[in-house]
Amino acid sequence: MTNDPAELLDELAGLRKRARDDRHGYWFPLLLFGILSFGSIPLSQPDPHPTDHLVDGGPGWWLNPLMHLGTTYEVTHPLALELYWLGALVAGLVTTVWWYRWRAQRVGVETSTGTYAQVALFGSVAVLLGIPLSTSLFFEYRLFYPSLPVAVAIMLVLLGLALLAFRVRRARPLFVSVGLVLVSIALSLLQLPGIGVDLGMGGMAQFMVIALGLFALAWIERSVVCSVIAAVFAVAVLIVNNSPMKIDALGSAQDVFLPATVLVLGGLGALAARRSSS
């Protein structure tokens, strides 16, 4: 044991880094959700006799959360696919919380899962109900369609208020839910005419829920790598949702293949880095 202040600081910094590394366990939920995503492919067989059920219907269609789970293709058994994804999201949340608690007992460093669970639960409500509701109000009542600069300014204000809500320590569940409502309203502006970014309302909303959870894990673990993987995953989802290009050979699997591959490769890379540093 040295008495040199500089060496003591170096040792303290090393201990802190080791504690952070021991706390990092995001590779598991990455692999888990990647595998669950690939598991949806057998249920994603395209319907040989499509009926345009993804685009027909009034405002009630927007407010049916199950309708936003699945793929952008019309599949043979849409309800089975929607129920699969609903079960996959719940199972993924429960298993991720269990994983972090089991891992805390094993390595002795606990990662708080309360914030992740809140973001995942309230995020599911925001994505499956909040965004469709606010988007439906925009399209149904058409009070005004803001220009792109105005929409961006409103989004920044709403996201700033949401960030402040997330940072409040007291009555945290309440403020997290308020923050996610603000986020859902802000994201709804992306789907206005003139901007036209599909966030999954045509049937890929489950990946937006997963992305929110990954960003929450990155925040909790203070992990730059997890943040990068979450950002790449979110970009991949937006590309799939908004790309007009369709590959007939892949069919509806192309909606799942790119996001699921990002999750699996990110999880394997994080696991390999973890093992090499230990």
CA distance 13 to 7: 10
Identify the pLDDT of residue 63.
62
Q: Domain residues of the chain, as ranges?
A: 39-277
Q: What is the pLDDT of residues 191-233, one digit of tens each?
A: 776 676 777 666 688 898 899 899 989 988 888 899 999 999 9
Confidence bin at 183 (pLDDT 50/70/90): confident
Residue 252's CB is within 10 A of a number of other CB atoms, namely 24
pTM over 0.95: no
Q: What is the average pLDDT score of the chain?
A: 77
- C-alpha angle 56-138-67 in degrees, rounded to nearest 5: 35
Identify the pLDDT of residue 144.
62
